[in-house]
Structure 1
Amino acid sequence: MENLRKGFPVLEQYTYLNTAASGLLPESVWEFRQNHDLDFLIGGSVFKDKQADALTETRELVGEFFNCEPSKVALVPNFSYGFNTLLEGLKKPQKALLLENDYPSLNWAVESRDFQISYAEIDQNLEKNITEAFEKQQPDFFAFSIVQYINGIKIELDFIKKLKQKYPETLFFADGTQFCGTEAYNFEESGLDVLICSTYKWLNAGYGNAFMLFKDGVQGKIAPKTLGFGSLQGKYKAHEGNFIGKFEPGHQDTLNYGSLAEALKLINKIGLTEISSRIESLSAKAKAEFTKMDLLEESVVKRNAHSSIFNIKGGDKLFQHLRSKQIIVSQRGEGVRVSFHYFNTEKELDLLIKEIKEFGI
């Protein structure tokens, strides 16, 4: 376990329980970034001539990691850019289904456009609420986060797959930013039409890079209007009017997308099964302990499966107390949000619980 922690210097000075806000930069990714810019410094355009190969490697690594053909993987700078480009390619008006209080970058993007919007409530009956909303509204598209950023509620992915089978004409758009990198996910066999993910959290790839995965049937239903010289550059974008090229109109950043490639190589080296197992074990213990201490909302306690993100009771004073003990967490909603990644330990969870008890909750 200690070997997995050595690649993250932040862990030497903090108890870092805040991946849900910002993942850590691994030393291996930092080293790549140093070498990348040194090569650019001394090579200029000679180095940049290799740009297409670098982007191809990243696209293929993402595709292999999530079981999606590389020709259906778009590299974008962040979730918001990709999602807004996607929405601009939809014919309007359309009926949209969202989740109440979902991540602002998702809901705001839909709400700022001329869609007829309905909502499903996020609680212990999330899937039932969504089912009822579908029966009532028959939405043209359903956009949602797989894991909720405030309290960590995770939607049942088998439910999404069955729902898509029942409503094949509805487009399913998912934000995987709080999910991707925590467990294996087979996009091709999923119920999603589009998965979008910023990779600075659980994939530990740094900022400025994200990806989009597409199913075959999407191209006939979405017509992005963005276009640029970069839209036609690269192994998988060679023909005019290609679909993923419309999400990549300009010069692509090999530093940031190369960072994503290095982050995926690190995860592959550790093993996603190992990572998932560690996260699941910590999450189960945390939920059990927090439940005994009456720190969680009812909607989280009553659900069987959960992510490794928890919102515990306590306001600014608890937050400041934990920070004074070098325990890094976030304030979200009405509580304090803690999150556990594979480099965290039961010892750190025990320390958190000890400090919460000493604080007096």
Structure 2
Amino acid sequence: MSAGAPAVVPVKDNEPIVLCMEDIKAIADSKLPEVARDFYNSGSTYQTTIAENRSAFYKYRLRSRVLVDVSELSTQTTCLGRTIRFPLCISPAGLQAMAHPDGEVATARACAKIGVNMAISSFSNYPVEEVIRASNGGVNYAMQMYTMKDRSLQERIIKSAEAAGCKAIFLTADSPVLGVRFNEWRNDFRTPEGLGFPVLEWTSEMIRKQTHDSGFTAFNDDSHNWAREIQWLREKTKMEIWIKGIVTAEDTELAIKYGCDGILVSNHGGRQLDGVPATIDALVECVDAAQGRIPIHMDGGVRKGTDIFIALALGAENVWVGRPAIWALAYDGQRGVEKMLEMLYEDFRRCMALCGCNSVAEIKRSCLSRIGLDGVLRRME
């Protein structure tokens, strides 16, 4: 198929027409109970960062090119040791079975069908082994985890993930405490009855006795630090060690200093400290600090294929999405996630073609323009 192949336009019937992420989210919001919808969609305190994760993309303009032969265009890239269809993967979002009973298993199957990777949350409703089996070898996985007071449990999680075939640990490092999430407090949010967290070895009965906040505080270790955590992980596993939650040059330098294998620029979907930079803005600072010494990925606010293109142009090697997968699950389970991924793929491929890029490696800052303080639109360098 050529890069400019026409999009498939659905024939009107009783089914809702789904053409973009907003359509998927609207259907998901209509299906989800209010408490679940608020849990998934909300950020911390005044929602500043979660809003800017999206709006920050609007500062950039794409520089389309003409008369470029894009008949052999390829969107492929590599991630976690596997060639993937395009530079997008599924972030470690927890509680997916609250959106659809098949939860992480459905997401894994969709990732395998589309040809992208996935990270598994510590708050997965399915065991790591079951999630990985669902993709039948078609996905490379990362295991997301926090620093834990119970080191024996943390080590069991690591060993189980490695034995099941995970390629990397995504250490979520931005959460010594949880962010202030007003909607969860107003709703007294608790995990729905019947859903457990098998990775953490928590049954539904154990979870229902505590709030989301109190449960997190009970197991999370707020005494974590660079020197201790990275060394301890290196002693326990041969998996790659990535740090998730970096938004500054200083922490990028520390990740390099302590020998991490990569970083995921992320502000936790705007759910931790409200007022931190949008991830697309933080990405530039981190990329400039790294100077190619460490792989840099990002998540946060990505809703279109053009967003993926902008992130790559600014220096990310790969992009991850969390909420879109949740919305897609609520919309239509595995088929919903496949639909969401296909939409992002087609939009990204089309953007590459119209910007004259035949490969992911050709996507550079010079593909973008930005309006300066003087109001003049200039090409980025």
TM over 0.5: no
**TM-score (norm. length: structure 2):** 0.30
